[in-house]
Amino acid sequence: MTERSSRNRVIALLVVTTALGVVLSAVGFFLLRANPYEDSKDRNEITSRATDFAVAYNTYDVSDVKNYQKRLKGLLTPKYDKEFVKITDAVFKALESKQQKSDGAKVQGAAVDSIDKDSAVAIVAVDSKVSNTDTKAAVLRHFRWKVSFTKKDGTWLISSFESIAPRSAVATPSPSATPSEGSGE
């Protein structure tokens, strides 16, 4: 092999590597621009509305269902609001004899889980004190909500929400280097 042919191979390899780098950079640039939606204004609005929702949702008195529904109406899509009114009418009627109330809602944290240009999901954690005729003192409850948003006419509205079940911590036995008494070893 001559010095000239090896030099040509090195030049060809550099040209191919450079071209490949340019192509991969262009693909990466377009994928980043097309995929994750990053608008801090929208993220802030979603976090704020998720916080407003958590406080409003966890502050109620079953004797005043209309006020409760009115406070949440502006946060919900019209379709979801109709569903919400039906559900709260039924639930509050069932709880009326217990005179259930929830107040003192305090948001522990809220964050956007996923977002694109017209939909988003937020997670919000809120603590609230719930009381009824069964308990003399209000009981502190911990709620976690997964809140789905839809952007309608420039405003983020809640299209659904669901409770996030708490995770239970379970101790699992771990082997020990020194067997304990009664372990059979």
Q: Domain holding 139: CATH number?
A: 3.10.450.50
C-alpha to C-alpha distance for 55 and 178, rounded to whole angstroms: 52
Give the mean model confidence (pLDDT) for residues 150-164. Answer: 95
Q: How many domains does the chain have?
A: 1
Query: What is the Cα gyration radius of the chain?
Result: 28
174 located within any domain: no
Could you tell me which residue, 34 or 112, shows the higher pLDDT? 112
C-alpha to C-alpha distance for 55 and 145, rounded to whole angstroms: 11
- Residue 35: the pLDDT is 46
The tens digit of pLDDT for each residue in 102-152 reads 999 999 999 999 999 999 999 999 999 999 998 878 999 999 999 999 999
23 located within any domain: no
143 located within any domain: yes
HEC sequence for the chain: CCHHHHHHHHHHHHHHHHHHHHHHHHHHHHHHHHCCCCCHHHHHHHHHHHHHHHHHHCCEECCCHHHHHHHHHCCECHHHHHHHHHHHHHHHHHHHHHCCEEEEEEEEEEEEEEECCCEEEEEEEEEEEEEECCEEEEEEEEEEEEEEEEEECCEEEEEEEEECCCCCCCCCCCCCCCCCCCCCC
Give the mean model confidence (pLDDT) for residues 14-43. Answer: 73
Give the mean model confidence (pLDDT) for residues 46-73. Answer: 96
Give the mean model confidence (pLDDT) for residues 179-183. Answer: 59
129 located within any domain: yes
31 located within any domain: no
Q: What percent of the chain has pLDDT over 90?
A: 63
Kindly indicate the confidence band of residue 181, based on its pLDDT and cuts at 50, 70 and 90.
Answer: low
C-alpha to C-alpha distance for 77 and 46, rounded to whole angstroms: 14
83 located within any domain: yes
Kindly indicate the confidence band of residue 165, based on its pLDDT and cuts at 50, 70 and 90.
Answer: confident
The residue range of the domain holding 158 is 39-163
What mean pLDDT is reported for the chain?
Answer: 86
Whether 10 shows a pLDDT value over 60: the answer reads: yes
131 located within any domain: yes
Give the mean model confidence (pLDDT) for residues 82-110. Answer: 94
